[in-house]
Structure 1
């Protein structure tokens, strides 16, 4: 099958209008492969037929389409320097500075804004629980995990992974936070309930309204900003800034930067940015 220039342009525009993600010629081969699977699933004969379907039934088809073409590459403790910073710098500082609220507990909120299949929010959760475990009863810890893709959110909420996904995690953390299956499930692990209890998974398009109120002590927005154009990036940074508590941290991916919005944050580590107090 041939993907014509007109069909490619239409698909790119549909993706941009739906998600804000910018696709260019460098993504053409990736888009071709994923569209081929979609067409096979929908029992169509050409890319043009699928474009017609999107034109006529765009709203009904949008969720399936976005789930099928968005990239979901992730792993536990990916870009580990971010979790090391939380452990060695941020959590010790918060232990000293946080005061108890009306419920008698210190409040800690983190948002994983492109959570994919859940490895990132679970890594955040493990990091927080480990750093606070000597004083955990006095803390109210919650992590919000959002993604545009409903399929990967369901995977994250289930918390079941192939055992090889956790092979690089230290043994003591494996024993504390994962259960290995038996029999036919022996090659799978499930996240411990104590970890799932502090994480809420919700579907969210970052370009739409954000129903949560915040403020967040830290926001992870890693390896997603690169898919947006400069104006959308700037708008998102402004919204993240407003959603952060004074002194809160914004974590970006290894190839990302704040651009012109850098002036509103201080750089405290590799792709780690702090909102002023």
Structure 2
């Protein structure tokens, strides 16, 4: 058997033998659930093992058993905690995901918010992408609002993107994306808001134009924290397709804390698969998964 094939077989066999014990998976799942609210049922075990093997290689450890010992038998967890969180959190995101929400924002929410503040000259609308991942949602919002500002000339906006994962926040700040990821961006917006490299590499990439990057800031936030260090006069908060990973009690706590940061008349937008039914928060539903604070 050629050497290259023997090496490939050895790698496959090593992975086949390299697993988290049920005890160690439960300890990791309990840690993640307690710290960031994300529930990791046993069905997620193989997925988590696959993600953690990258950390095993990065640390030069022999396998997942050694990684678990590093986490729980010494003080390795102190240094490894952010890397562990980055590895196991899901960061699915797309530009213009669930596009009807951006249509509602443009056609209904912004006009209603500006009507409430008609006595102000050039009011500043504050928009918060509360689980921003790599920034696709935040920059989608920036594109939509920048076009609207160009039409109306009667307001300003600022966008905050927050996430638990430091690695995705770094990508959001760089604002560089593979071209296939920006395919949902309408052609006119691609022309206005995306820059292409003069010498594209093997995998072509684009970057958000600096005019938009200046209007979007990113910060780390754990939604499980008891309070959030941000403004309490936010106009619109997007929290889409995140609560599905939390249990009902944590969902309600997060919603209550976020609503405290909305100004009266502000809006909370959830994912279409999510709902505020069963929470103690009283808000008026104005569109599918769109709720207004009294």
Fold-level match, TM-score > 0.5?
yes
Match of 2:252 among 205, 229, 234: 234
Q: Which residue of 1 aligns with 2:116?
A: 97
Gaps of 5+ in 2: 1-17
Residue 188 (structure 2) pairs with residue 169 (structure 1): no
Matches within 5 A, 1:68-217: 68-99=87-118, 101=120, 104-136=121-153, 138-185=154-201, 187-208=204-225, 209-217=227-235
Q: In the aligned structure 1, how far is the partner of 2:194 from the partner of 2:98?
A: 21
Secondary structure in 2 aligned to 1:220?
strand
Runs of 4 or more off by more than 4 Å in structure 1?
none
Q: Which residue of 2 aligns with 1:22?
A: 39
Q: In the aligned structure 1, how far is the partner of 2:208 from the partner of 2:234?
A: 24
Q: CA deviation at 1:105?
A: 2.8
More deviation in 90-99 or 3-12?
A: 90-99
Q: CA deviation at 1:100?
A: 5.5
**Counterparts in 2 of 1:130 and 1:31: CA distance versus 1, 3 Å:** same
More deviation in 203-212 or 44-53?
A: 44-53
Q: In the aligned structure 2, how far is the partner of 1:163 from the partner of 1:181?
A: 11
**Counterparts in 2 of 1:66 and 1:244: CA distance versus 1, 3 Å:** same
Q: CA deviation at 1:262?
A: 6.7
Contact between 1:179 and 1:191, CA under 8 Å: does it hold in 2?
yes
RMSD, aligned α-carbons: 1.7
Q: Which residue of 1 aligns with 2:9?
A: none
Secondary structure in 1 aligned to 2:224?
coil
Residue 76 (structure 2) pairs with residue 40 (structure 1): no
Larger radius of gyration: 2
Contact between 2:70 and 2:77, CA under 8 Å: does it hold in 1?
yes
Matches within 5 A, 1:247-262: 247-261=265-279
Q: In the aligned structure 2, how far is the partner of 1:263 from the partner of 1:251?
A: 14
Q: CA deviation at 1:263?
A: 5.5
Secondary structure in 1 aligned to 2:52?
helix
